[in-house]
Structure 1
Amino acid sequence: MAEKILSNKNNLQVLYEDNHIIIINKRVGDIVQGDKTEDKPLSDVVKEYIKDKYNKPGNVFLGTVHRLDRPTTGLVIFAKTSKALPRLNKLFVSKDISKSYWAIVKNEPPKHHDTLISWLKKNPKNNKSFAYSKEVSNSKRAVLHYKTIKKLNNYYLLEVTLETGRHHQIRTQLSSIGCPIKGDLKYGFDRSNKDAGIHLHARQIQFIHPVSKEVINITAPLPKDAIWDACLA
């Protein structure tokens, strides 16, 4: 099993930072907010980074705007000020943030590009969601768009955008069409990755800065491994 290189205040991959916002490229294994594992969350790491960089006394304010699953990688936005936090939250609620993901799957999708509409139901006991073709009790409607952007030797690279933000939505819906993400044992891939991650990466984000009103467009570099490297070859 390869050792996971978790983020710390000295190796944090900061992709964008200003007075109000900081955007991080999350590593495999980082948790965005604390959970029952009691592992140090990425939010605490970012606070330590800000405290050291700016020599701030006392507690550092940091607002978590959204999350990524622990085994995934890519863009995570945090608010550095109480002014920016509710405005960023509003951007997500109103869907005024454009975000795309890259996913590597073993099987060729049924169509080159498609919109998947299903109803997802979460089972909290095993922290897993299930996709249904029609509404069932306690399910939530989920809408996802994908397109195939590259055929690799043994895999397919998909670009995914979401209309809804459901629990494990990309993982669940791609699995439902026979395309589980590489390394994702929970959703049907046949073997795990060495670092216990999955090949799902929050690749690009674009939005209007809630304070400066400038267009922010950030692309997160891919993790370093042979398969991700092949996506850019």
Structure 2
Amino acid sequence: MLPEDAAFLAALGPGTVGLIDTTDPGNVLSRAAVTGRAANSAEHWAVVSTTAGRIVQSGGAWYIEAYGGSGTAGVVWRHPVLTRWPVLPGMTVRFETPVQWPDSSTTELRWYGLAGSVIATSTGDYAVTASAPPGAESFTVTAHVPRLPAPLLYPLGGAELLYDGGTVLAGTGYGPLTVTALSVSPVYGQAHMRDVSLALVEVSDVAQG
């Protein structure tokens, strides 16, 4: 077993993990997040600074209200269960803001290593596409909209988060899982190798509201 593979397995431990299905070309944001009509906004979005804006609901849909002023108001697109979005080094990630957001919007992918610290940052305009750097284990997604003299509402529905060239833009959701069993045993005659077995159970609600 390669040392980096052993490190990733050791980091799984007990608790919830994310399974990245690279055969699914879908938008990994949940349907509720893509439509902007989630039952609980806090499961999907958070403002970067409460002094620049807030998450509000209008007509059943969620928006960021950018307060009047200068600078920007930022929103974090949250994983509904995990602390950050999982990734493997070398994977391509693309995030695009909702279509109603202005082209002057900016985006950021912040990459984290196994130790939980930031190891790199990738930025773009209204969309960002980047490869996860060596050592990356997870990432966060942030986007900023400009603040104008008067407060403005920007819809949160319609964003895209895709892995490795995904093309299906409707929200397919994301299946977080928990490790219920992990066993490691030696391979006879191969001192440097191990047989590893994982048992995973999906723990999310199918509705993903």
TM-score, with length taken from structure 1: 0.25
Higher relative contact order, chain-length normalized (CA < 8 Å, sep 6+): 2
- Give the strand-richer structure, 1 or 2: 2
- Give the helix-richer structure, 1 or 2: 1
TM-score, with length taken from structure 2: 0.27
**Between Structure 1 and Structure 2, whose CA radius of gyration is higher?**
2
